[in-house]
Amino acid sequence: MDLQIFKAGKTLAVSDDVFAREFNEGLIHQTVVSYLSGGRAGTKAQKTRSQVRGGGCKPFKQKGSGRARAGTIRSPLWRGGGKTFAAVPRDHSVKLNKKMYRAAMCSILSELVRQDRLLVIDDIAMAAPKTKQLIARLNDFGMSRGLILTETGDDSLYLSARNIPHIRVSDVSGASPVELVSAEKVLMTVGALRAFEERLA
């Protein structure tokens, strides 16, 4: 298939395997869940009644006090006691095969093309960090919020976009499925497009 290069008057032949794949909602959901789960710290920890310090002796005799019987002051029923079902540190990561990840990314990119949310441009390199210049260029593209994707990291572009609300900059290696799915528009350079084809085809 061919993609139009924005305001360049020419088209670019791209791989159907990457940019014309069927939409697989279940696989994309699985990929997003896996990505978000991998970012969880999983360090939450609480103490059970056996882990809380103290409470070794019976607080008062079994009978005669009129109170409910108790064997320890660290019971979950008592203030200062342990948790009934205490949280323990755990790994939240969800395994995702490389083949599934590549298929999901292709499905996401294909859906961006179908919804006209993907803009392909020749280049957007900045000679120096200038936020005002970048805003003017984004206005030319009709883009007020979204994701800018380049082939490799560009410090000047990153610094220019850092103070613009709702605009994110990423390179191909750092592009996440969550960013692609949630972006209102994706501005992608030709170099980034070719890099995606190499990685995913």
Whole-number pLDDT of residue 4: 86
Are residues 67 and 60 in contact, defined by beta-carbon separation less than 8 angstroms? yes
The single-letter code of the amino acid at 158 is Y
| Residue 185, domain member (yes or no) | yes
Whether residue 75 is contained in a domain is answered as: no
**pLDDT of amino acid 124:** 87
Domain contains 11:
yes
Looking at 118-166, list the stretches that DSSP marks H as alpha helix, in order from N- to C-terminal side: 131-140, 155-161
Contact predicate 180/112, CB 8 Å:
yes
As for how many domains the chain has, the answer is 1
Residue keyed to tokens 């120096």? 128
Low-confidence stretches of the chain (pLDDT beneath 70): none
DSSP class of residue 95 equals: -
Check residue 12 and give its pLDDT: 87
Domain that holds residue 139: 2-23+93-200
Tokens 């990561």 correspond to: 93
Instruction: Give the β-pairing of 10-13 and 118-121.
Output: unpaired
Residue 78 inside a domain? The answer is: no
Quick check: is 100 in a domain? yes
| Residue whose C-alpha is closest to residue 158's, from 71, 150, 109 | 150
Which pLDDT does position 2 carry in this prediction?
86
We report the CATH number of the domain holding residue 181 as 3.40.1370.10
* Tokens read off for 28: 């994309």
Residue 33 lies in a domain: no
Nearest to 20 by CA among 121, 119, 100, 114: 114
CB 191 within 8 A of CB 150: yes
178 lies in some domain: yes
- Any residues with CB less than 8 A from the CB of 53 and at least 6 apart, and which? none
* pLDDT (0 to 100) of residue 8: 74
What's the rounded Cα separation, in Å, for the pair 120 and 109? 12
Is residue 174 one of the residues assigned to a domain?
yes
